[in-house]
């Protein structure tokens, strides 16, 4: 954990339902001869526009935030088949747009790099849905994605009463999406960045057959959302090939991470499988479950997702900066070619393979531990406690696990990638701890309470 960023108590909330009137919640409000109902819009025929910023009845439904998170996961990962690291970039874009769309109306938190508030009587649900729809529609063009997005948008708006509040929310949400889209123009996404290190001892090279090039190298140079630059949290180098530490880590992953002949225990194999597929869908579903169980209102839900997704996105920028800068080889390459590493304490095994095939990018630092470390730390900050109570489901392991404390989750993720044969321990430990520092930085510098 980052010792320089102590966790803070959850901020006091000032009323989820604002009612500047002497009439009780159970009573209808008559404003200028017009019956006003929950959601802030006029119900009677005749007057179809509500301009008062002083009257609001009912609480906005927070489910719209989780619904669109679920839609984003399906759109990006299923319809568009993007990589996990790339997916987190767009989760961050969408959730910052939704956050601005919601808190620009509720005024509960400070806007993210924007100075334009919406009408207080506008519908936060409509604004959130509009922001998510227009943001995702701008980036994902496949027929499957467009079909999913339009259907989700229609479903979201069908739950919002027709009227001025809905229309104002839709307009404000659209503008919130365009604000993020414009902020992210020329941010380095998809720039022609190439990995050019020569394949000498200690240097990464493709491990798949046939070879697959370094995935999403542009992420190493993309402009972060809150961090100052990609190098801000760059860690020191991995252990030197001729060091005793490297030999210890080499022999650990060689012994415990192999596809065959491993001394790994069944429960360790189960943990390796569990963490093999929770980096995106599992963690996102856990966040949706968390805000539901805790009864977060729409502003709180929008904020938790925004802090978590931006922490993860900036964490991946930092992670890819390290991967690209150091270009350290994967265990599968190191173990097969150990004769060339100059370390007498390592022995080669030309037939060694990892339990889980390595993805196409270097070892140092771990991407999975970036996702886990950043999100667990972000959630702990928002809740004001390390008791995060995340329930995570893995399809690969056919299991749901309850991680009561952030430290439990982080330790399990670190070990899982060693038992998978994917990383040396330093890649996991450094990656996880660096991601936590990024999350603390994001929490301190964005998405703060309005007062």
Note the pLDDT of residue 60. 87
Note the pLDDT of residue 8. 38
**Predicted confidence (pLDDT) at residue 15 exceeds the cutoff of 70:** no
pTM of the model: 0.87
Q: Please indicate whether the domains covering 63-183 and 217-222+240-445 agree at the CATH topology level.
A: no
**Predicted confidence (pLDDT) at residue 106 exceeds the cutoff of 70:** yes
| Comparison of pLDDT for 451 and 100, the residue scoring more | 100
Q: How does DSSP assign 73-88, residue by residue?
A: HIIIIIIS---HHHHH
| Comparison of pLDDT for 59 and 296, the residue scoring more | 296
Residue 352, number of CB atoms within 10 A of its CB: 22
Confidence of residue 21 (pLDDT cuts 50, 70, 90): very low
Note the pLDDT of residue 125. 98
What number is the average pLDDT over the span 55-61?
59
> Which residues lie closer than 8 Å to 320 by C-beta, 6 or more apart?
85, 216, 217, 219, 220, 230, 361
The topology (CATH level 3) of 217-222+240-445 is Vanadium-containing Chloroperoxidase; domain 2 (1.10.606)
Note the pLDDT of residue 59. 78
| Cis geometry, peptide bond prior to residue 365 (ω within 30 degrees of 0) | yes
Q: Which two tokens stand for residue 53?
A: 């910023």
**Predicted confidence (pLDDT) at residue 385 exceeds the cutoff of 60:** yes
What number is the average pLDDT over the span 301-327?
98
Cβ atoms of residues 197 and 203 within 8 Å:
yes
Confidence of residue 14 (pLDDT cuts 50, 70, 90): very low
Determine the Cα–Cα distance for residues 352 and 369; give it in Å rounded to an integer: 24
What is the torsion angle, in degrees rounded to the nearest 10, for the CA atoms of residue 11, residue 17, residue 19 and residue 22?
Answer: -100
Asked which of 14-18, 305-309, 383-387 is least confident by mean pLDDT, the reply is 14-18
Cβ atoms of residues 250 and 331 within 8 Å:
yes
Residue in the block written with tokens 């790099």: 113
Note the pLDDT of residue 51. 34
Give the percent of the chain with pLDDT over 70: 87
Determine the Cα–Cα distance for residues 3 and 166; give it in Å rounded to an integer: 45
**What CATH architecture does domain 63-183 belong to?**
Up-down Bundle (1.20)
Determine the Cα–Cα distance for residues 334 and 348; give it in Å rounded to an integer: 8
Note the pLDDT of residue 37. 30
What does the angle CA 307 – CA 312 – CA 316 come to, to the nearest 5 degrees?
150
Of the CA atoms within 13 Å of residue 170, those in its CB half-sphere come to 13
Confidence of residue 264 (pLDDT cuts 50, 70, 90): very high
Interval 147-206: pLDDT, tens: 999 999 999 999 999 999 999 999 999 999 999 999 999 999 999 999 999 999 999 999
Note the pLDDT of residue 38. 32
Q: Where are the domains of the chain?
A: 18-58, 63-183, 217-222+240-445
Confidence of residue 83 (pLDDT cuts 50, 70, 90): very high
Give the percent of the chain with pLDDT over 90: 86
Interval 25-46: pLDDT, tens: 233 322 233 223 333 333 333 3
Q: Directed axis angle between helix 406-419 and helix 244-256, to 10°?
A: 80
> Which residues lie closer than 8 Å to 425 by C-beta, 6 or more apart?
249, 252, 253, 414, 418
Confidence of residue 19 (pLDDT cuts 50, 70, 90): very low
Confidence of residue 6 (pLDDT cuts 50, 70, 90): very low
Note the pLDDT of residue 10. 36
């Amino acid at each position: 954990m980052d010792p320089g960023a102590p966790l803070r108590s959850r901020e006091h909330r000032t009323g989820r339902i604002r009612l500047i009137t002497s009439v009780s919640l159970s009573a209808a409000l008559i404003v200028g001869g017009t019956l006003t109902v929950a959601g802030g819009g006029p119900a009677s025929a005749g007057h179809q526009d509500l301009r008062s910023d002083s009257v609001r009845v009912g609480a906005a439904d927070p489910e719209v935030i989780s619904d669109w998170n679920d839609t984003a996961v399906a759109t990006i990962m299923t319809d568009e088949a993007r990589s996990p690291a790339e997916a987190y970039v767009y989760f961050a874009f969408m959730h910052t747009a939704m956050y601005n769309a919601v808190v620009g109306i509720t005024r509960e938190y400070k806007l993210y790099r924007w100075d334009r508030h919406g009408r207080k009587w506008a519908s936060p649900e409509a604004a959130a849905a509009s922001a998510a729809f227009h943001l995702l529609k701008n980036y994902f063009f496949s027929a499957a994605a467009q079909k999913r997005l339009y259907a989700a948008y229609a479903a979201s708006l069908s739950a919002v009463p027709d009227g001025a509040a809905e229309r104002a929310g839709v307009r404000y949400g659209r503008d919130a999406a365009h604000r993020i889209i414009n902020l992210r123009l020329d941010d380095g996404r998809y720039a022609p960045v190439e990995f050019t290190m020569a394949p000498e001892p200690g240097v990464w090279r493709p491990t798949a057959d046939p070879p697959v090039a370094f995935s999403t190298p542009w992420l190493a140079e993309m402009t972060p959302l809150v961090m100052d630059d990609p190098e801000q949290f760059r860690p020191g180098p991995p252990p030197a090939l001729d060091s005793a530490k490297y030999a210890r880590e080499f022999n650990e992953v060689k012994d415990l991470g192999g596809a065959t002949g491993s001394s790994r225990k069944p429960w360790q194999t189960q943990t390796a499988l569990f963490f093999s597929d929770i980096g995106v869908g599992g963690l996102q579903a856990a966040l949706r479950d968390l805000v539901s169980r805790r009864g977060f209102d729409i502003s709180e839900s929008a904020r938790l997702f925004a802090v978590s997704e931006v922490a993860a996105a900036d964490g991946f920028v930092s992670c890819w900066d390290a991967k690209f800068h150091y270009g350290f080889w994967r265990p599968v390459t190191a173990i097969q070619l150990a004769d060339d590493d100059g370390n007498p304490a390592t022995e080669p095994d030309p037939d060694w393979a990892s339990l889980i095939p390595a993805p196409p990018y270097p070892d140092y630092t771990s991407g999975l531990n970036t996702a886990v470390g950043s999100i667990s730390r972000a959630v702990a900050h928002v809740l004001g406690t390390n008791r995060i109570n995340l329930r995570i489901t893995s399809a690969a392991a056919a299991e749901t696990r309850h991680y009561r404390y952030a430290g439990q989750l982080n330790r399990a993720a670190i070990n899982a990638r060693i038992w998978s044969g994917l990383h040396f321990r330093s890649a996991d430990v450094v990656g996880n701890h660096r991601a936590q520092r990024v999350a603390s930085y994001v929490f301190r510098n964005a998405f703060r309470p309005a007062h």
